[in-house]
Amino acid sequence: MNSKFIFGTLTVITTVWLVSGVVQSALAKEAKVNVVRTTGGNAVEFPNVHLQSGMGRNLLQPFNEELQTTHDIKSADRAQRMMERNSSALTGLLINKGRIVFEGYREPARRNSKMHSMSMSKSLTALVIGNLYCDGKINSLDDKAVKYAPQLEGTPYGDTSIRNLLMMASGIKKLGNHGQPKHKTYVRMRNQQATGLFMLKGHTRQYEEGTNHLYNSGDTLALSQVMESMGGLVNNFNFYIWSRIGTETGGSWMVDKQGQPIAFAGFNASLRDWGKLGMYTIDMVKGRGGSCMQEFATDMNSKQIRNERRPGEAGRTFSHYGYQTWIMDNGNAWWVGYGGQRVGLNFELEKVMVVHSYIENYMTEAHDVFNYFADWD
């Protein structure tokens, strides 16, 4: 298999890979996604709301060999070897205080590919809620969702506080396997045959809200319903975030048949623009977006509730959950998507890692690479 890499120098390197049938059989048991749709197909095959690029201050500086520290070089080498060893690795990016340290692609992923990143969209949804709260459109995170989303009247989601929805502590019996909607339901949404609101009806509460973390995409969908009376998730995401970070490739949100975004798994953007979204989050934690967003973003990316997931369930790597964000014991925050999509954030040293994959079979190594990168200034 020919694998094309573009590293920090933007030099194209071609390597030949041989994958045995035994290895492929073993990988088949891992979480997998459609490689063509992950590298741009979802942004064109299905209904999307498209966002323009090029607006706002560019949060990302290009690779500069003269600025590379010894630790940058060692970290980039580890990231390169990780991509070489794992044929499912599609992209890789390391950022040090806004400066690209490493950038890699494997075909069919390219620099302008709109990478579909599954549940990493959940963390973006939380950031929009934070902006609406700090802009006074949400009075309190402890308000019940139904106060802003009357369409949730009579559902346990409507009777859950926004804060507990952010923490996935609604206590509502989770959707499908691992808290995700059943595959057929997701496909129906994507194919314009069902709506997110429909998925929030007919559920019961398993635990008292605020007492247990129960990973549930329904909590994210309920947050998106809260935003409908304020202009919707897409418009607010574009206004508060996307239009202010100097994106270089247009983004898009997949939508259901009512035109509402699939908030739990629907955003598409290029590798570099995912990196800019990570840098935006670091800016918020560092107070560059005002004191209110600093407080919200800090809470979002810190240990709010212990992760009670059992061995064998997705998310078991992480000890805690923040607001729609996974937290490791060492304090690093992670946006996590099914199939091997990750954004890692270290706020003390302002470092970001982004990876996209089509099989979730090397994430422990990806976490280790970032931990090494983020362990030294």
Residue 156's pLDDT is what? 96
Mind listing the domains of the chain with CATH numbers? 2-373 (3.40.710.10)
Q: Which residues contact 29 (CB under 8 A, 6 or more apart)?
A: none
The pTM score is 0.91
SS3 sequence of 351-372: EEEEEEECECCCHHHHHHHHHH
Mean pLDDT by 10 residues, the chain (377 residues): 40 27 37 90 92 91 94 97 96 98 97 95 98 98 98 96 97 66 66 79 90 92 97 98 96 92 95 98 98 98 87 72 96 95 98 96 95 91
Q: How far is CA 290 from the centre of its chain?
A: 23
Query: How many angstroms separate the CA atoms of 321 and 327, rounded?
Result: 5
Model pLDDT, residue 83:
97
